[in-house]
Structure 1
Amino acid sequence: MKDRKPTSFDIAYRAGVSQATVSRALSDSPLVNEETKQRIKEIARELNYKVDKNARNLRSQKTKTIALLLNEDHGTGDSLINPFFLSMVASIIRASANQNYDLLISFQQFSDDWHADYEDANRADGIIFLGYGDYTTYVKKLTHLDEQDAHYITWGPVLPGQPGVSIGCDNFNGARQAVDHLLALGHRRIAFVGGISDGSPEFKRRYEGYSLALQEAGVQVDPQLQIDAETSEDSGYQAALQLRERKIPFDAVLGASDLIAIGVMKALEEQGLNIPSDIAIMGFDDIPMSAYTYPPLSTVQQNTKLAGELLVDNLLRLMQSEPVESFLIPAQLVIRGSCGGKS
């Protein structure tokens, strides 16, 4: 044990910093403040630590690995992963393999410095983000990545002035099509179940598409027909009960996600309502289980296969310093038994 050479971990432990910070300090990176840098160098001298030049040279090479960071979503049940993302993960795995890249999958919220933990630590050449929790908090971390010139891409909202590059679904027009379909079936009192705050910009865009479709049909938007809900069956279930407690008539519901819509269906059915003859239900996402509810859930499909391929392709372009812009993928209606009618 006496002959064991000191490592960067020993320095990190003594200095109370990450190994990535030690590496940056010893290479005089401007990302480490001078006081911390000097403290780390002093500890390195005390331990007689020698920088491995071969290891340092490896930092200039490519890892041929992409980091896929998923948001841990406590609202989706024991799995902690929104089932909508599972098929997208499969597509990202295939697309990465086709480009001869390995994929490192982890939860994103376990770290305060994504760049240091993955790209700067030479664990991955770039990062893909799926899910974000509260967007107002999340966008601050993305801004920090921009300041570090990190290579990353996100699946989510496409908003003016947002940091980085984002690929997402056309939530506005997807919801607009869904409501147009419900209106064509004769429904006029259509409820919207889902949060619409700035912290949930995708749900908010779906609500805006819902509202415009009603207005274009000459139907007044009733704020009493909107109930906040997170992406889970239980949240949709509780929201439906709240909607019923308001004692206002409604003949259709657009859930901001399939999980919400499935929870709404269960609550209404337990109250003796028939779907779709009493209440029509429409979801959003087209997760696999939506085809196996009773009745099968009509929904707005997001193309997860295409999304995964585009995320990988555009991240690789970013890593090659090629110009890449944010854009939206069109959504498509999938009509099943929960609302009736043909697509």
Structure 2
Amino acid sequence: MKRPTSFDIAALAGVSQATVSRALSGSTSVSEAVRQRVFDAAAQLNYTVDINARKLRSKKINTIAVLVSEDLDHSDNRINPFFLPLIGSILDYANTRGVDVLMSLQKADADWGADYGFSRRADGIIFLGYRDFESYLRRVAVLRQVGEPWVVFGPVMPETPNLFIGSQNEEGAHSAVEHLIKTGRKRIVFLGEASEQHSEFFERYKGYQRAHTEAGLTPDPRLAVDCFISREEGAAAIDRLLADRVPFDGVFAVTDLLAIGAIQSLQKSGLAVPADVSVMGFDDLWACTCINPTLSTVRQDTTTAAKVLVDTLAALIDGEPVEMTRIPTQLVLRESA
């Protein structure tokens, strides 16, 4: 099948080829209505920019962008605290490669394509954080149309292995819950969003389920608590379980923030951690060692993640093949479990 061209887009959108070029390059001389017609036509034709041809037309500026999604679930911080050490490691490693980094906090309704893909403010993009994963995929599809190299830290998607870099979420959760079961815990709460719209957490839920299955246990469905990812939500979720008199002796939270909130709720209710209830988190934030008891958790390797993200993006920018990467996690046992 013949590869669609900008002339095909122009014919379908009812504009000139020059207008198509200006629209796809982000020129402000094109109205928003015309730009949208061009994008719609490009999507209908499954048009993508030839990255190698694009490189011949424009020089690299030796800058990458790191776009951090605004995290509205954290009342006291607009950035998920897990990303702070990852950002630091990205900056450090990019510096060793002689690459400048442009940082930006992205609002939920931000137009990444117009701001970065079309404007050529960076050679490529690293995305950190997302909300609804399906809508996220639809929005980054615009970047494919313009040939902007990009990588995401999150769930590894087999259908697009060159774009997603992530931790071994299911394996990490499995090791955490397996440890809780081996220490005698039989009724373990799952705190987090266990849906495919939050793919990383859904992978951790699968690890939670697999550990139970291998131990011959069937989790009580009342113990799977869907909640936003914040310390306050973790505390509120445990408050509700206690108020409803749902028995449990362990907690696995998909983030450390939820786990810290769970510990605070349990202690407020007069329960001892881990004597009465063991608690396990995921991420290994610095705060894990600042609470009493210190929090057992699953560590995500942000140093390795930063290196893989930057190296993968650099390879994509240069038109080189890349591989799907899952970064190993590590079970870190402290006082809470």
State the TM-score bracket (shorter-chain normalisation).
0.7 to 0.9
User: What is aligned with 1:263?
Assistant: 261
Structure 2 counterpart of 1:130, which letter? L
Question: Does 2:33 correspond to 1:21?
Answer: no
**Contact persistence 1:139–1:163 (CA under 8 A):** no
Deviation at 1:279, TM superposition (A): 0.4
Deviation at 1:109, TM superposition (A): 3.1
Structure 2 counterpart of 1:33, which letter? V
CA distance in 1, matches of 2:138, 2:161: 9
CA distance in 1, matches of 2:138, 2:37: 20
How many residue pairs get aligned? The number is 298
**Contact persistence 2:279–2:296 (CA under 8 A):** yes
Deviation at 1:327, TM superposition (A): 2.0
CA distance in 2, matches of 1:18, 1:159: 30
Q: Which moved more, 1:148-157 or 1:102-111?
A: 102-111
CA 113–75 in structure 1, closer or farther in 2 if over 3 Å, else same: closer
Q: Secondary structure at the match of 1:22?
A: coil
**Contact persistence 1:155–1:167 (CA under 8 A):** yes
The match for 1:150 among 148, 154, 160 is: 148
**Contact persistence 1:24–1:31 (CA under 8 A):** no
Relative to the length of structure 2, the TM-score reads 0.83
Structure 1 counterpart of 2:38, which letter? N
User: What is aligned with 1:231?
Assistant: 229
**Contact persistence 2:69–2:108 (CA under 8 A):** no
The match for 2:73 among 59, 72, 75 is: 75
CA 313–250 in structure 1, closer or farther in 2 if over 3 Å, else same: same
CA distance in 1, matches of 2:63, 2:328: 29
User: What is aligned with 1:298?
Assistant: 296
* Structure exhibiting the larger radius of gyration computed from Cα positions: 1
CA distance in 1, matches of 2:180, 2:230: 23
Map residues 328-339 of structure 1 onto 2, 5 A cutoff: 328-339=326-337
Question: Does 2:38 correspond to 1:33?
Answer: yes
Q: Once the two structures are aligned, what percentage of the paired residues are identical?
A: 41
The match for 2:83 among 82, 85, 91 is: 85
User: What is aligned with 1:176?
Assistant: 174
1:223-269 per-residue CA deviation (whole Å, 9 max, x = no partner) reads: 11111122110010111112212312111000110000000110111
CA distance in 2, matches of 1:24, 1:110: 26
CA distance in 2, matches of 1:94, 1:226: 39
CA distance in 1, matches of 2:24, 2:328: 43
**Contact persistence 2:24–2:146 (CA under 8 A):** no
Structure 2 counterpart of 1:301, which letter? R
Structure 1 counterpart of 2:263, which letter? M
CA distance in 2, matches of 1:120, 1:19: 6
Q: Secondary structure at the match of 1:186?
A: coil
Deviation at 1:157, TM superposition (A): 0.5
Unaligned regions of 5+ residues in structure 1, if any?
Answer: 1-16, 35-56
Deviation at 1:307, TM superposition (A): 0.4
Relative to the length of structure 1, the TM-score reads 0.81
Map residues 1-343 of structure 1 onto 2, 5 A cutoff: 21-22=26-27, 33=38, 60-109=58-107, 112-162=110-160, 165-339=163-337
CA 145–95 in structure 1, closer or farther in 2 if over 3 Å, else same: same
Q: Secondary structure at the match of 2:118?
A: coil
Q: Secondary structure at the match of 2:79?
A: coil
CA distance in 2, matches of 1:245, 1:265: 16
**Contact persistence 2:153–2:166 (CA under 8 A):** yes
CA distance in 1, matches of 2:29, 2:100: 25
CA distance in 1, matches of 2:158, 2:299: 24
Deviation at 1:161, TM superposition (A): 2.6
Structure 2 counterpart of 1:200, which letter? H
CA distance in 2, matches of 1:128, 1:87: 15
- The two structures, once aligned, show a CA RMSD in angstroms of 2.5
